[in-house]
């Protein structure tokens, strides 16, 4: 008797388990967002549509085969300004030991010092791109990718960017 109840319970459990998985596969999945957090005045969570409304610029980079590719997107510095990161005249003293960790949705991570991003220090404009040749980026690369011009290896031009995390370097 007890065995039967167990079996029944198990069947119900596996049925509902199967049911919830198929449900979750049907419900529209979450939309990708860019999160900006850490040492910021305001954490941001920017959706694809909000991102599209921000002022865009163009940037070029070489792909792995050395061909020049043109992207359109928002300068990283503008996104960080919106979050209230210490930039421009505030980027001095201990703030010069701050960095931005870029994280992709597959877990890939790379790092930039804030001074590498700020026009007070450099003329190179790094953008977070959402379009290439006027079209959204392809699966596995978009919706957001970093475009870092003038680098010999594209390893920091991260695909599928999901987070900008600002932190102090702790020795």
Partner 1 sequence: MQIESHYKKLTLLLVLVAAGIFTAATDISPLYVDPYKLEYPDYFGNRISIPEDNPTTKQGVYLGRMLFYETKLSSSQTISCASCHQQKFAFTDGKAFSSGIDNMRTKRNSMSLANLLWVRNFFWDGRAKGLEDQAKFPLNDPHEMGGYLEKAVKILQQTKEYPPLFREAFGTAEITSDKITKAIAQFERTLISANSNYDKYLRGEYNPTEQELNGMELFMNSPRPEKNIRGANCAQCHGTPKMYMELFHNNGLDTEPKDIGREEFTGMENDRGRFRVATLRNIALTAPYMHDGRFKNLDEVLDHYNEHIKPSKSLSISLKNVSNNLDGEKLGLTANEKSDIISFLKMLTDSTFITDPKFSDPHLKKVTTN
Binding footprint of partner 1 on the chain (CB under 8 A): 6, 10, 21, 24-25, 29-30, 32, 105-108, 139-141, 159-160
Picking from 104, 90, 87, the residue whose alpha carbon sits closest to that of residue 155 is 104
Q: Provide, rounded to whole angstroms, the least separation between the CB of residue 84 and partner 1.
A: 27
Given the complex with partner 1, which of 20 and 122 has the nearer CB atom?
A: 20
Least distance to partner 1, CB of residue 106, Å? 5
Residue with smaller CB distance to partner 1, 75 or 142 = 142
Closer residue to partner 1, CB minimum distance, 80 or 145: 145
Q: Return left, alpha or beta for 93; rule: phi > 0 is left, psi -120 to 50 is alpha, else beta.
A: left
Q: How far is the CB of 43 from partner 1 (least distance, A)?
A: 19
Burial class (CB in 10 A: 0-12, 13-18, 19+), 157: buried
- Cβ atoms of 54 and 74 within 8 Å: the answer is yes
Q: Please state the closest distance from residue 30 (CB atom) to partner 1, in A.
A: 4
In 3-state terms the chain splits into helix, strand, coil percentages (rounded to 5) of 30, 30, 35
């Amino acid at each position: 008797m007890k065995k039967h109840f167990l079996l029944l319970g198990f069947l119900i459990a596996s049925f509902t388990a199967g049911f919830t998985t198929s449900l979750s596969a049907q419900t529209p999945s979450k939309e990708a967002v860019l999160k900006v957090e850490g040492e910021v005045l305001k954490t941001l969570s920017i959706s694809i549509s909000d991102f599209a409304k921000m002022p865009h610029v163009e940037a070029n980079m070489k792909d792995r085969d050395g061909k020049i590719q043109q992207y359109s997107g928002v300068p990283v510095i503008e996104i960080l300004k919106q979050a209230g990161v210490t930039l421009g005249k505030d980027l001095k003293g201990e703030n010069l030991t701050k960095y931005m960790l870029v994280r992709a949705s597959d877990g890939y991570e790379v790092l930039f010092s804030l001074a590498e991003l700020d026009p007070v220090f450099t003329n190179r404009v790094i953008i977070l791109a959402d379009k290439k040749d006027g079209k959204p980026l392809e699966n596995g690369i978009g919706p957001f990718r970093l475009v870092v011009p003038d680098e010999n290896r594209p390893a920091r031009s991260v695909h599928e960017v999901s987070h900008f995390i600002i932190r102090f370097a702790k020795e």
